[in-house]
Amino acid sequence: MFDNKHSITMLFNASKVYDRQIIEGIGSYLQTSKADWDLYLEEDFMARLEHLDEWSGDGIIADYDNPEIQAALRKAKVPIVGIGGSYRDPADYPEVPYVATDNTELVRAAFNHLRQKGLQRFAFYGAPVDPHQRWAQEREQAMLDIAGKEGYECYVYRGHSVRPETWQYSTKRLADWLKSLPTPCGIVAVTDARARHLLQVCDHIGMLIPDRLAVIGIDDDEIARFLSRVSLSSVKQGCFDMGYQAARSLHKILQGHKGPKRPILVPPQRVAERQSTDFKAITDPHVMQAMHFIRQSACRGIKVDQVLDYVGISRSNLENRFKEERGHSIHTEIHNEKLQKACKMLSDTDETTAQIAKICGYPSLQYMYAVFKKHYDKTPIEYRESAKPSHTELDFAGSGNIVCK
C-alpha cells in the first residue's frame, strides 16, 4: 500500500556528475519504497529560485552547497532535507536535516592511495576561496591535517578560477607551481576538473605522469577522464547513496517522524585506479622517458625502434637499463601495456572483443585471443566474466551513518 501522494521539488544544478548521481539515488528510493511522490525538476536540470515562495508542495530536497538556495529556503514552510559537503566545525551545518559527502574521508582515500604507491612527497591542487565552493577549503584543510598527522609536508596551490580571458595566465602559473615541486610527488586535486588541468599542463611542460607527478582527482567524472591522454585515477563519491539517504529522511518526516538531528555523513564509494597514479619507483631518466612514451603509444602499434628513436640512445644501452630497472625487455613492456589496457577494457566496459583488440593495437582478434590463452589460459570473454567487478577498484564498505561531528 502506497503512502498519500506528495509533491516534492528538487533544487539542483545537475550539470555535474555529483548532482546527477544524487538525483539518481533519490529516484532509486522512490522506486524501491512506498513513497508516492511527484518529483519536480526543471527540464534543463537547473535550479531556479524565482517565485519559489509561491510553490505549493509538500517537501524539498536541495543543494545546500549553494548559498543562494540556502537563503531562498530560510522561510520555507515545508520540510527540507539539505545535501552538501561535510564541515569540521559543527556550527557550519545548516539547521535542517542534512546529508553530506564526507570530505575528510574523500581526501584520506586519495592520500592513502598515493602513499600505498610508495610516494613520500605530497601536494594539493585546490580552488580559490568561494562561498559556492566551501567544500574545496574543507578538502584542502583535510589534506593538510592528514598529511601532517602522518609526518609529511604538503604543498598547496589554489590556482585561479577558469575563465577564457585568464586561461593562459592561469596555465602558466600552474606550470610554475608544478615545476617548483620536488619529485616524485603525489598530487590530490580537489576535483576531477582541476586534476585535468594538472594533466594538460604536465603534458605541455614535459612533466612525466605518473613517474614525476602522480595525480588523483575526486568525482570519477567520465567527461574529465576522457579529455586527457593519461587516464585519471579518482575517488568516487557516494552520491547515489546521498540521494537515497536524503529521500529516505524526507519520507520519514512526511510520515510524521522526526528528521535526523545530526548530519548523515556518506563515505567515498571507491578509488578508481588508472594510469595517472600507476607510479613505480624508477630512477633511470632514460627508462622513465621510455616508459612515458610506451604508456601513451603502446596501443598505437609501436615497435621497439620507435621507443629508441624517442629516447635517443642505442638499443643495447636502453635494453640493459630497462632490464636493470624493470626486470624485462622493452618489447615485454610494450606487450604488457597493451595487455593491461585490454584487461581493463574487458573488466570496465561493454565494448566488443573485436573493438577492444583494435583499440589496444592487436593486429587481429585472433591474435588477442592467442595472447589471453597464453597468459591466462582463458579467452577474452572468459576473462571478462571472471574479472568483474574490476580488481582495480577498491570498494569502501558501508553506507552513510549518522555521526556527531
Segment 50-90, tens digit of pLDDT = 656 666 689 999 999 999 989 888 888 899 999 999 999 99
Instruction: Please tell me the distance from the alpha carbon of residue 399 to that of residue 405, in angstroms, as a whole number.
Output: 17
Do 229 and 203 meet the contact criterion of CB atoms below 8 Å apart? yes
Distance CA 272, CA 393 (A): 5
Fold of 6-102+239-267: Rossmann fold (3.40.50)
CATH 1.10.10.60 assigned to 285-387: yes
Task: With H, G, I as helix, E, B as strand and everything else as coil, classify residue 140.
Answer: helix
Mean pLDDT, range 160-188, rounded to an integer: 92
The predicted model gives 277-305 an average pLDDT of 86
Sorted by sequence, the CB contacts under 8 Å of residue 333 that are 6+ apart come out as: 290, 291, 294, 322, 326
The set of cell numbers assigned to 220 is 570519477
Quickly state the pLDDT bin for 310 (edges 50, 70, 90). Answer: very high
Task: Name the average pLDDT for the chain.
Answer: 88
Phi, psi of 246 (to 5 degrees): -65, -45
Q: 323 pairs with which residues across the strands?
A: none
Is the CB of residue 401 less than 8 Å from the CB of residue 264? yes
Q: What is the pLDDT of residue 196?
A: 93
Equal fold, 6-102+239-267 vs 285-387: no
* Closest-CA residue to 340 (of 311, 365, 318, 361): 361
Residue 405 has pLDDT above 60, yes or no: no
pLDDT of 1 > 60? The answer is no
- Torsion over CA: 309, 310, 312, 315 (sign): negative
Contact 260, 95 (CB under 8 A): no
Could you give the dihedral angle defined by the CA atoms of residues 31, 32, 34 and 35, in that order, rounded to the nearest 10 degrees? -50
Which of 12-21, 35-44, 263-272 ranks highest by mean pLDDT? Answer: 263-272
- Cα angle: 92, vertex 94, 97; to 5 degrees: 135
Q: Is 16 left (phi over 0), alpha (psi -120 to 50) or beta?
A: beta
CATH T-level fold of 103-236+272-279+392-396: Rossmann fold (3.40.50)
Q: What is the pTM of this model?
A: 0.75
**DSSP label at 232?**
P
Domain-wise residue ranges, the chain: 6-102+239-267, 103-236+272-279+392-396, 285-387
pLDDT-derived band at 141 (thresholds 50, 70, 90) equals very high
Percent of the chain whose predicted confidence (pLDDT) is above 90: 60
Which tens digit of pLDDT belongs to each residue from 153-168? 999 999 998 888 888 9
Alpha helical stretches, state H, 89-182: 103-116, 134-149, 167-180
| pLDDT tens digits, 217-262 | 999 987 766 677 788 999 999 999 999 999 999 999 999 998 888 9
